[in-house]
Chains A and B, each alone.
Chain A
Amino acid sequence: MGAKRVVSHSLWIAWKDLLEFSRVKMALILLILMPLLMMVMVGYIYPTTGSINHLPVGLVNLDTGGDNSASHIFVTQLEAINNQTGMMELGSAASFDDIKTQVQNGDIYGGIIIPENFSSNLMTGKQATITIVTDQSNPQISTTMQSVLTQTIEQMGIWLAQQNVQLLDPSLDNSAALAVIKPYNVQTEGVVPGNPNYFQFMAAGIIAMTAMMSVMTGLPSAVSREKTVGTLDGMMAAPISRLSILLGKTIAQSIRGIIQAVIILVLAVALFGVTIQGNILLVFALLFLGVFSFVGLGIVVTAYAKNEETAGMIMMTLMFPMMFLSGVFFPIQQMPWFMQAVSKVLPLTYATSALRKVMTLGAGISAIATELLVLIGFGVIMIIIAVPVFKKAMTR
């Protein structure tokens, strides 16, 4: 049987599959809705400094210094800054225990305590301590709050120090005084212009995942459904190569997956301000390569899944670890060593990483050579394993 025949048959099978799919209105709606939901959810759920607004915080002032004391000035300044940023909703609290009760009741997310000796310490040339109380049940928010408050208070400390230095040496101006207190100035600059943005981080991952998972999940369920319905027999009884069935189904699923990935890409750019710094063709090439690397795995699952139900279960078992261990949603670097080891053998890790480099950092082919090689290698090896397994499974 000529290669031309195999390809022609597989194209007809792909045509049939896509035609069937296009007739299901719900599937078409979900094709767009699913990725949109995913983007919106994961993108907005993550807290960023800017995303914290009017967070209720309890303020305890135990200082005994009176109306003109240092603590009074501190609170006035804090309120002034907060009015500008609108980050906190400052309420008053009586004590640490009061803050604790209010946190437990869910009224506030943390507190600031100014101790009794605040003014007197400052007057007598000692450091004054300010305590930030955090809510451990909500690590994301407490971390963010802690860092923002620390920064704010530090800034206020610097202002105070500036004034003190100028008192000691009136000849110094503001910037000279600052140089005395803080000789090092830190400046941050990205590799490419723009601020880091969680959507930007995630978009690449979700796009890679959607394209690749489409084959891995779509292929087994498409084949096992035809097995259950009985239509697979119709193809198997025709004088076509088994390879055509596999190829045709893979083509159909890949097209579907890539269409879905492109929809996400467009939505990400149009709605969430994601930018593509690198070559768009390289982005597509990576999508195809990602799909290719998963074809073999999809075929193996297809061969072992006797029915639709088993196929679905195998898929879920494989999908979840991949989603979370491939750096789609969470950076791999923050995982413990054994999870990092697992993520190193998942092709999605490499596709995500390469896509992120191209989309966010504008990297070229040479920068992602390792990822490309791993994807190609993984794909080829899996297909070499998969095809005989499939052939054996089909002629029982």
Chain B
Amino acid sequence: MKAKYMIETCDLTKKFGSLVATDCVNLKIKNGELFGLLGPNGAGKSTMIRLLCTLTRPTKGTATIGGYDIVKDDSKVRGLVGLVSEKMIMYDRLTAKENLKFFGKLYNIPNDVLGSRIKELIELVHMEKWQNKEVGTFSTGMKQRINVIRALLNMPKVLFLDEPTLGLDPQSSSEIREFIRKINQERKITIILTTHMMVEADMLCDRIGIMDYGKIVALDTPFNLKRMVSKGNVFELNISNLNNKLLSLIKSLPCVNSVARENETRIKVHAKGGKAFDDIVDVVRANNGEIVSINSLEPTLEDVFLHLTGHEVREQVSKQVGVRVGSRHVGGERPRIR
């Protein structure tokens, strides 16, 4: 069965009692794509993955993977996918090799094929020295490497990665990210990655679906998503004698979309139009503001998320963000305030 899309969901909905975990999600993901699901904890990303891996049944709607229905052909779907979930799927008491052998056997891989595949995968993540050690003795980073190659044992067409760098140190995180990119490019595996880390999604993904309260609120390439926020620029200004009067003056400029105060002296301004820079500097100067420095910033996905949903990605708002003065939004879109 050849399907146009590797993954296609149709009004995919999952309710747990009155909680709607995913709400009529419609997604189309092409073969070979590295697709990111981005959103805060509880947005429904993990439920999306559990639904697509057939670990839970949809309340309404359906989805196909490689043309197979996730409910009717669940067994076929399971053969096509690999899963790296938030909790590591590994037995601490078994060695790395025993873990891989066990899971390989569940996929009916013949002994000789399985043996050489395990060897190759272990080499791929440079774990040869550790293959006969109990996984429980590994560091989180080492465990995750084995956990990821475990998901590749059955040569999946689609690999689901649920927060694959959660709890890893920066070095292990970047190794895992490199590895994800590599298998996507070299093995042409379609990858669905969930993360709440904007930077990670930005770095890796071809396209990103932003999820919030069970819905996909935006879906595009990272580049386009960022352009949604500011067709113009983002500046960071340091003004030594910053005060509320100056702030409201800057905000009232027609070229300014939003102003966020980051600390005593620093503000972040989303503006549009080629003259924005001059206009802002002019108004500050005219009111005796002393500009210490000006940086032009690339907008981040964090900004996109805020812009789309009206709230921060993290429940726990960091200090800098906490003093944001407010924001206006482009494109006539209104923030959803909750």
Complex alpha-carbon distance, A239 and B104, angstroms: 11
Instruction: Across the interface, name the chain B residue whose C-beta is closest to A230.
Output: B87
- B106 in contact (CB, < 8 A): yes
Instruction: Across the interface, name the chain A residue whose C-beta is closest to B56.
Output: A396
Complex alpha-carbon distance, A230 and B46, angstroms: 13
Complex alpha-carbon distance, A229 and B92, angstroms: 10
B107: which of A15, A229, A238 is its contact (CB, 8 Å)? A238
Task: Kindly identify, within residues 74 to 110 of chain B, every residue whose CB is under 8 Å from any CB belonging to chain A.
Answer: 75-76, 78-79, 81, 83, 85-91, 93-94, 98, 102-103, 105-108
B residues contacting the other copy or chain, number (CB 8 A): 30
- A80 in contact (CB, < 8 A): no
- A1 in contact (CB, < 8 A): yes
Instruction: Across the interface, name the chain A residue whose C-beta is closest to B87.
Output: A230
Interface size, A (range): 20 to 34
> What B residues does A395 contact at CB under 8 A?
56-57
A19: which of B83, B86, B94 is its contact (CB, 8 Å)? B94
Is A237's CB under 8 angstroms from B53's CB? Answer: yes
Instruction: Across the interface, name the chain A residue whose C-beta is closest to B98.
Output: A19
Task: Kindly identify, within residues 194 to 234 of chain A, every residue whose CB is under 8 Å from any CB belonging to chain B.
Answer: 229-231, 233-234
Is B106's CB under 8 angstroms from A238's CB? Answer: yes
Known pairs A1-B75, A16-B102, A239-B107; A23 contacts B134 (CB<8 A): yes
Is A396's CB under 8 angstroms from B94's CB? Answer: no
- A5 in contact (CB, < 8 A): yes
B55: which of A12, A20, A231, A237 is its contact (CB, 8 Å)? A237
Is B93's CB under 8 angstroms from A233's CB? Answer: no
The listed residue with most B CB atoms (<10 A of its CB), out of A16, A395, A396, is: A16
Interface contacts (Cβ under 8 Å), in number, total: 70
Is A5's CB under 8 angstroms from B108's CB? Answer: yes
The secondary-structure label for the interface of chain A is: helix
Instruction: Across the interface, name the chain A residue whose C-beta is closest to B134.
Output: A23
- A240 in contact (CB, < 8 A): yes
Tell me the minimal C-beta distance from B104 to chain A in angstroms: 10
Instruction: Across the interface, name the chain A residue whose C-beta is closest to B86.
Output: A230
- A9 in contact (CB, < 8 A): yes
- A236 in contact (CB, < 8 A): yes
- A24 in contact (CB, < 8 A): yes
Is A235's CB under 8 angstroms from B106's CB? Answer: yes
Instruction: Across the interface, name the chain B residue whose C-beta is closest to A395.
Output: B57
- B173 in contact (CB, < 8 A): no
Is B88's CB under 8 angstroms from A230's CB? Answer: yes
- B54 in contact (CB, < 8 A): yes
Complex alpha-carbon distance, A238 and B150, angstroms: 11
Complex alpha-carbon distance, A1 and B79, angstroms: 13
> What B residues does A24 contact at CB under 8 A?
93
Is A12's CB under 8 angstroms from B85's CB? Answer: no
> What A residues does B55 contact at CB under 8 A?
233, 236-237
A237: which of B76, B83, B108 is its contact (CB, 8 Å)? B83
Instruction: Across the interface, name the chain A residue whose C-beta is closest to B76.
Output: A239
Is A229's CB under 8 angstroms from B87's CB? Answer: yes
Is A233's CB under 8 angstroms from B83's CB? Answer: yes
> What B residues does A239 contact at CB under 8 A?
75-76, 78-79, 106-108
Instruction: Across the interface, name the chain B residue whose C-beta is closest to A9.
Output: B106
Not counting A8-B105, A231-B87, a sample of 8 additional A-B residue pairs whose C-beta atoms are within 8 angstroms of each other reads A16-B94, A20-B93, A230-B86, A231-B90, A237-B78, A237-B83, A239-B107, A395-B56
Name 21 A/B residue pairs within 8 A (Cβ), A-sorted.
Answer: A5-B108, A12-B102, A15-B102, A16-B94, A20-B93, A23-B93, A230-B87, A231-B91, A233-B53, A233-B55, A234-B90, A234-B103, A236-B55, A237-B53, A237-B81, A237-B83, A238-B78, A238-B154, A239-B106, A395-B56, A396-B57
